[in-house]
Amino acid sequence: MQDVIVSGMRPTGELHLGHYVGVIRNWVKLQNDHRCFYFLADWHALTSYYDDLEVIRKYRFEYVRGWLASGLDPAKVCIYQQSSFPEVLYLEQFFLALTPPGWADRSPGWKDLQEHPQKRLDNLGFYTYPILMAADIALLRATKVPVGEDQLTHLEITREIVRKLNRTYGTDVPEPQGILTPAARLIGTDGHKKMSSSLGNTISLKESEKSLRKKINKLRTDDTRQGPTAPGNPANCTVFDYVKAFAGEADVQQLEQTCRAGGMSCGECKKCLADKMVAELMPLAERLSKISDDDCRQVIHEGNQKVQVFMKECWQALADKIKFFS
């Protein structure tokens, strides 16, 4: 049987290369060989934008537009809106009853919040984020979940909740396995370890060629290099992180060797990178500009209808075993 893939994104800001490299590319690859369900995680978005709902409303369509332009095919995958299905919250409430507080305490996001307090995230919704995630996954009986390394702890919490569910009620919900995203997290244009709209260090999927090249030219290079013909250290260079994301393996190896030998200046490397990124991203930006709000609305509507059928089957199987929801 085909693996069931479930994954979502929070519509809280403009789509950028971090989303594209870290998530969307992988989604596109998975759609050809798996049964994929990709959702707008607007209940999750509520935990950080409860006081500015217009942000969530605005970016729902923007995200679908970006997904379609990047190559997701609604004929192959199911694209749906999380908040359209109250069953997600029903199951989350049940999972909350099964989950000791210590499991939620292990959430990397919650730990980060304690070290870097942000008033917007200091709420119980954000604290129980991993439990809602578990409901998203278990409700559709996902067998595989594409995640970055930083999300493996969240997924392990899901697995523990599912094990307890099955042990307590005799259900047979699969324990989902993680599919690690091939690409590492793309760092911001300012050298920050995370590309984020809130940090203002992103490259949008809607950049023009001129603005894209301008941003690439500003990327940090090896600050220990003594000159354009001196040996460089790619490990100390933001540009090379982008090269690994947009060049083929052979090109990456060649550029690394050339850099270490001092055979290419940083400016030449940036131009080489810009050419590769322009070749991939400008057609994407053109496709994105042609997708209307009505197109996105229709994709969500059809996706909701498709997932509803499958979700009803999964929900009924749970309800029959637990004998609480009937």
Query: Residue ranges of the domains in the chain?
Result: 4-187+293-322, 206-288
Q: Per the CATH hierarchy, to which homologous superfamily does domain 4-187+293-322 belong?
A: HUPs (3.40.50.620)
Distance CA 78, CA 34 (A): 11
What value does the mean pLDDT take over residues 2-10? 94
Percent of the chain exceeding pLDDT 70 equals: 96
Average pLDDT along the chain:
91
pLDDT band at 111 (very low <50, low <70, confident <90, very high): low
Cβ count near 299 (within 10 Å) = 21
Question: Which run of H or of E encompasses 163?
Answer: helix 152-169
Distance CA 167, CA 238 (A): 48
For residues 299 and 68, is the Cβ–Cβ distance under 8 A?
yes
Adjacent-strand bridge partners of 80:
39
In this predicted structure, the answer to whether residue 192 has a pLDDT above a threshold of 80 is no
In this predicted structure, the answer to whether residue 312 has a pLDDT above a threshold of 90 is yes
Rounded to 10 degrees, the C-alpha dihedral 122/202/36/178 comes to -60
For residues 273 and 246, is the Cβ–Cβ distance under 8 A?
yes
Digit-coded pLDDT (tens) for 47-102: 989 999 999 999 999 999 999 999 999 999 999 999 999 999 999 999 999 999 88
Of residues 226 and 297, more confidently modeled:
297
Burial of 305 (0-12, 13-18, 19+ CB in 10 A): exposed
Of residues 114 and 161, more confidently modeled:
161
In this predicted structure, the answer to whether residue 34 has a pLDDT above a threshold of 70 is yes
For residues 86 and 113, is the Cβ–Cβ distance under 8 A?
no
In this predicted structure, the answer to whether residue 190 has a pLDDT above a threshold of 90 is no
Q: Which CATH class is domain 206-288?
A: mainly alpha
Nearest to 80 by CA among 303, 310, 263, 306: 303
What value does the mean pLDDT take over residues 194-215? 90
For residues 198 and 18, is the Cβ–Cβ distance under 8 A?
no
What value does the mean pLDDT take over residues 218-233? 89
For residues 20 and 68, is the Cβ–Cβ distance under 8 A?
no
Distance CA 324, CA 326 (A): 6
What value does the mean pLDDT take over residues 286-309? 97
For residues 78 and 303, is the Cβ–Cβ distance under 8 A?
yes
Q: One fold for both 4-187+293-322 and 206-288?
A: no
In this predicted structure, the answer to whether residue 117 has a pLDDT above a threshold of 90 is no
- As a whole number of Å, the end-to-end CA separation of the chain is 29
Distance CA 68, CA 107 (A): 31
For residues 10 and 20, is the Cβ–Cβ distance under 8 A?
no
